[in-house]
């Protein structure tokens, strides 16, 4: 798999190769401009596709030997959405993982404790979840992540080991902060696009497309159609002979310290 280290090596080689040939200036400029654009494209790909494992190895797919999948919800807790999700998951007897935004926890502590009591797993999704989170210094990110841990500990007494980066964006600074905090970086294998889908049918189609062993599905608490399609999703998953298991079980690792 192409990762940041090998990519750097390959591009350093590609940088020096023209020095061994007698190329015209125009050709040389074209070559370096193209090389630069390709390099930037590879970095962007590595940053935005958590499954690329480009900067850091993420846990984005679980046990492939079992007919089982796991579901995850990002951005909660949210008073208007999360209780409905929890009710539905409880009635369907389905465990899930919730990646929480630290600043949403104050005032919603009972909701967070309810997640734990009902057998769901909690992970850190940063405290601030700002749009520019990944452009911060690694120290700033680390402090933000710790602040989210503090909120989760305050609400549940549990220190999370799972961290999912806001927007799934990874770069060398995010990697450094994750490593400093000793987190497991958690990704997903199926993105439902439930926050910007045009219809419930679209979310259902995306969430079930190419469903396979070990898949980790990304939903959001506040997805416009998420709660509406969840029963149908669970029904269809079961009709295809898949079991919905907890994230710890599918990843075979613990969620807390
Ligand atoms: Zn998020």
Q: H or E stretch including 36?
A: helix 25-48
**Interior/surface letters 54-69, b for 16+ CB within 10 angstroms, e for the rest:** bbbebbbbbbeeeebb
Using CA atoms, how far apart are residues 175 and 255, in angstroms rounded to an integer? 19
Does residue 1 carry a pLDDT above 80? no
For residue 82, the CA-to-ligand 1 centroid distance in Å is 14
For residue 109, the CA-to-ligand 1 centroid distance in Å is 19
Task: Determine which one of 120, 125, 129, 220 is catalytic.
Answer: 220
For residue 142, the CA-to-ligand 1 centroid distance in Å is 17
For residue 232, the CA-to-ligand 1 centroid distance in Å is 24
For residue 17, the CA-to-ligand 1 centroid distance in Å is 42
Task: Determine which one of 53, 74, 149, 215 is catalytic.
Answer: 74
Q: pLDDT class for 168, splitting at 50, 70, 90?
A: very high
Q: pLDDT class for 73, splitting at 50, 70, 90?
A: very high
Q: pLDDT class for 179, splitting at 50, 70, 90?
A: very high
Radius of gyration of the chain (CA): 21
Catalytic residue check, 22 = no
For residue 2, the CA-to-ligand 1 centroid distance in Å is 26
Q: pLDDT class for 94, splitting at 50, 70, 90?
A: very high
8 Å CB contact between 68 and 96: no
Catalytic residue check, 184 = no
What global pTM score does this model have? 0.93
């Amino acid at each position: 798999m192409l990762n940041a280290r090998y990519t750097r090596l390959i591009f350093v080689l590609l940088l020096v190769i023209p020095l061994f040939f007698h190329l015209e200036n125009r050709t040389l400029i074209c070559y370096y401009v193209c090389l630069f654009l390709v390099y930037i494209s590879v970095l962007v790909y590595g940053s935005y596709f958590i499954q690329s494992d480009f900067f850091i190895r993420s846990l984005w797919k679980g046990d492939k030997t079992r007919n089982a999948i796991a579901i995850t919800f990002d951005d909660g807790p949210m008073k208007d959405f999360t209780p409905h999700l929890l009710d539905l998951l409880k009635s369907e007897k389905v465990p899930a993982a919730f990646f929480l935004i630290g600043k949403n926890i104050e005032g919603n502590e009972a909701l967070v404790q309810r997640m734990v009591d009902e057998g769901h797993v909690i992970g850190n999704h940063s405290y601030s979840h700002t749009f520019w989170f990944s452009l911060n210094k690694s120290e700033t990110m680390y402090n933000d992540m710790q602040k989210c841990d503090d909120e989760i500990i305050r609400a549940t007494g549990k220190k999370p080991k799972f961290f999912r980066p806001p927007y799934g964006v990874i770069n060398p600074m995010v990697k450094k902060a994750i490593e400093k905090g000793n987190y497991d970086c958690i990704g997903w294998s199926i993105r439902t696009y439930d926050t910007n889908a045009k219809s419930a049918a679209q979310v259902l189609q995306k969430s079930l497309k190419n469903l396979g062993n070990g898949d980790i599905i990304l939903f959001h608490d506040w997805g416009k159609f998420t709660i509406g399609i969840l029963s149908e999703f669970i029904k269809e998953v079961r009709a295809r002979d898949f079991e919905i298991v907890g994230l710890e079980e599918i990843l075979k690792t613990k969620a807390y310290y």
